[in-house]
Structure 1
Amino acid sequence: MLRKFPRRWFLLGGVAAFLSGCANKFRSYSGPEVTRVRLYKSERLLVLDGAQGVLKTYPVGLGFAPDGHKQFEGDGRTPEGAYMIDRRNPNSLFHLSIGISYPNEADRAFAAAQGKSPGGDIFIHGGPRKGIDPTDKQDWTAGCIAITDRQIEEVYAMVRDGTPINIYA
């Protein structure tokens, strides 16, 4: 009996190590470089482009007020315009996330002229709320771009900081 106990623990430890390796949210990517990201809000479609064309597309969910350009903090809109991927958050509340450089100078100036804050912290992220599937094109974020956890793992691995993102109405 004494000999079986360590063997069982060894086997259980091996299974646990294997399963934890499968659950790793950090993927590697060795394919073509993503040269640009495009978001088509009306189509709820995120496109990753490479030098030779489209590499990958994803259905998305947007801010809870999807029509129009984000102007102020709390308006629930997703920005429109030319931005950059400027940061990543491996400890996001929404599984993983990559940041968009909103607000830019024009966004800040417009909001300031109205005496308001433009808001910020716009991300592409995973982790939709329970019962919400971004592939169903439900808009639930505060202005971010939502995809599934599995999809953000791919995007997080593929897209580098400094990649331009164009967001179209």
Structure 2
Amino acid sequence: MIPVNRRRFLAMALSLPAVASAAVNVPSLAGGADLVETMLARAPVPRHSNELWVLVDDQEAALSVFRGNALVERFVPVSLGRSGAKTQRIRGDNVTPLGEFRINRFNYESQWRTFMSIDYPTPPHARMALEKGIYSQADYDDYFDYYRRHGYPPQNTALGGAIGIHGLGSADPDIHGRYHWTQGCVAVTNAQIDRLAELVGVGTRVVIR
């Protein structure tokens, strides 16, 4: 059972401008359901007809930029975590987290040419971690306390952090074209990250499924 104050903050966090464009009704975890998977079922839909948003498809190894339902640009192949993509990620497991995110920072001096940080772990990821025993109640409370103070999630919990979309920098393009090689991020070529940086900005919604 989610305490009333936590439930209220969870809805609030998901409705912040840096997190979502509109309030989201968070489903319960009755029966041990995968909360992120439940929310992903409705995530690949534009919030409005003119929304610019990004879809990363694990099965197709593709990153697509949409304006509403219209495809603007598509980048293939992209590389994800070397251990695959899952709704539940643990620090150091090299998994790309599935879910619905927002770009919250750009680093143009990254070793990966440009790094677009996303707001992982989200409140639904934190809730799942509590349900699965990855977070203690104290960890869960600390997560929301940090989020409330800073406006973005902590990056040093058991769920890890520093997840984003980035270029290759000096990495081998041949390996990129053949394998998933990242520690959990979404990687595109240097030319593609330059183009993507022209299209998106802080607050752009990113769906990884």
Fold match (TM-score > 0.5): yes
Query: 2 CA distance for matches of 1:126 and 1:133?
Result: 13
Partner of 1:114: 134
Partner of 2:187: 146
Q: Are positions 1:130 and 2:172 aligned together?
A: yes
Aligned to 1:49, which of 66, 71, 90? 66
- Seen in structure 2, the aligned counterparts of structure 1 residues 67 and 166 have a Cα distance that, compared at 3 Å, is closer
Aligned to 1:35, which of 52, 56, 59? 52
Q: How many matched pairs? A: 135
**Rg: which structure is higher?**
1
Determine if contact 1:34/1:158 at 8 Å carries over to the other structure.
no
Q: What letter corresponds to residue 162 of structure 1 in structure 2?
A: G
Partner of 2:110: 92
- Seen in structure 2, the aligned counterparts of structure 1 residues 45 and 90 have a Cα distance that, compared at 3 Å, is same
Q: Provide the identity percentage.
A: 27
In structure 1, the gaps of 5 or more residues are: 1-32
In structure 2, the gaps of 5 or more residues are: 1-49, 136-156
Partner of 1:80: 98
Between structures 1 and 2, the one with greater helix share: 2
1:24-71 Cα offsets, whole Å, 9 max, x none, are: xxxxxxxxx861100101110100001360000012001011142342
1:112-132 Cα offsets, whole Å, 9 max, x none, are: 532571001111101162254
- Seen in structure 2, the aligned counterparts of structure 1 residues 162 and 131 have a Cα distance that, compared at 3 Å, is closer
Q: What letter corresponds to residue 172 of structure 2 in structure 1?
A: K
**Aligned Cα root-mean-square deviation (Å):** 2.0
